Amino acid sequence: MPKLTKDLDRIIFCRGPEIPGGLVFEDNLKLVMLITEIRMREDYNLKDIFVVDMKKFTFSDCQKVSLPLLKKFQVSIL
């Protein structure tokens, strides 16, 4: 959203990629980290609230998620 909430939070809407062959989990995490890094330098909000459209997310995509990588991602963004 272009404006911050009254609590100075930024709401971000996103959806998964529509790529033939499905989700590439590692590439999406890299993209999220790069965008977050840029926003930390250039935006003046207290926190980000992500609203994610998971309509196209399938069980096949879920099986591609690496749990150790997900844990490292969680530690890095907190």
pLDDT in tens, 20-29: 566 677 777 8
Whether pLDDT at 10 is above 80: yes
Residue 74's φ and ψ, nearest 5 degrees, are: -60, -45
Find the mean pLDDT for residues 65-70. Answer: 83
Work out the percent of the chain whose per-residue pLDDT is above 90. Answer: 5
**Residue 66 confidence (pLDDT):** 81
The length of the chain is 78
Closest-CA residue to 71 (of 15, 13, 29): 29
For the whole prediction, is pTM greater than 0.85?
Answer: no
| DSSP helix, strand, coil percent of the chain (3-state; round to 5) | 45, 20, 40
Whether pLDDT at 56 is above 80: no
